[in-house]
Amino acid sequence: MKKKIIFYLICMVFISNNIKGQNPEENLGNWFMYFGTHKLSEKYSLHYETQLRNYELVSNFNQLLPRVGLNYHIDKNTSLTAGYAFIPTQNVFDQGWGEEMVAENRIWEQFILKNVVNRMKIRHRYRLEQRWVKLGEKTTYKNRARYMLSVKLPISKNEDSPLFISLYDEIFLNISDNPFDQNRLFAALGYQFNKQMNFQVGYLRHRSENLKLNRLQLAVFLNTGN
């Protein structure tokens, strides 16, 4: 089974290297991601994540997103989080790390509700963001709301099977006169190494304002909390 996963990854990398263009919509870019939830006590845990986003496979920097938050677990299916992120973004394709990048300070709050239907795990995530976006000497303040519906479904009827399918759709809404900001539709194949750690590789269809982007996602999830 592990050999099949390795073969799948090699195929995705080969496809990525052979899709080249002159703008973000013509390239299969990628997002490398780590998500960690680390238990502090019975009710509290620390959330930390880092995402490196590229316009192309392993080059052409787009965005770095480190984010940290404190989780309060109301029960095993419900939690509240508040946190902070600092996000440098290069909006100019094929420009790399430079002076024209956008720098964003972000405070965020979220509410997560989980439930299980048969063997399918369902998660609703509601998030609010207060954003200070700086380009050059100008800083703009923005508010945004997000909603994500995600599901996790084992591939095999065998409860010990490590393979699963992960799906989500997330919509981003500006709290302004022009509400639509983004939509992300995602599908992935996941491998559960143990109760605490899994790995996912998948495809993201990312609509951002007038752009329709295709992204390969590689993600590691480590959960030592509830």
Q: Could you tell me if 42 and 86 are in contact, meaning their C-beta atoms sit under 8 angstroms apart?
A: no
| Separation CA 125–CA 35 (nearest Å) | 15
Along the chain (226 residues), what's the average pLDDT of each consecutive run of 10 residues?
46 47 72 96 96 90 96 96 97 81 97 95 98 94 97 85 95 92 96 94 92 95 82
Phi and psi based region of residue 127 (left: phi greater than 0; alpha: psi -120 to 50; beta: remaining): beta
CA dist 38 and 160 (Å) reads: 24
| CA 100 – CA 135 distance, rounded (Å) | 7
| Domains with residue ranges and CATH for the chain | 2-223 (2.40.160.40)
Would you state the pLDDT for residue 14? 46
Q: Residues near 195 by Cβ (< 8 Å), separated by ≥ 6?
A: none
Q: What pLDDT, on the 0 to 100 scale, is given for residue 5?
A: 45
34, 47 contact by CB (below 8 A): no
Name the residue among 94, 84, 107, 115 with its Cα closest to residue 22. 94
Q: How many other CB atoms sit within 10 Å of the CB of residue 24?
A: 21
Helix (H) or strand (E) holding 50: strand 44-54
Task: Check: CB of residue 79 under 8 Å from CB of residue 73.
Answer: yes
This prediction has a pTM of 0.87
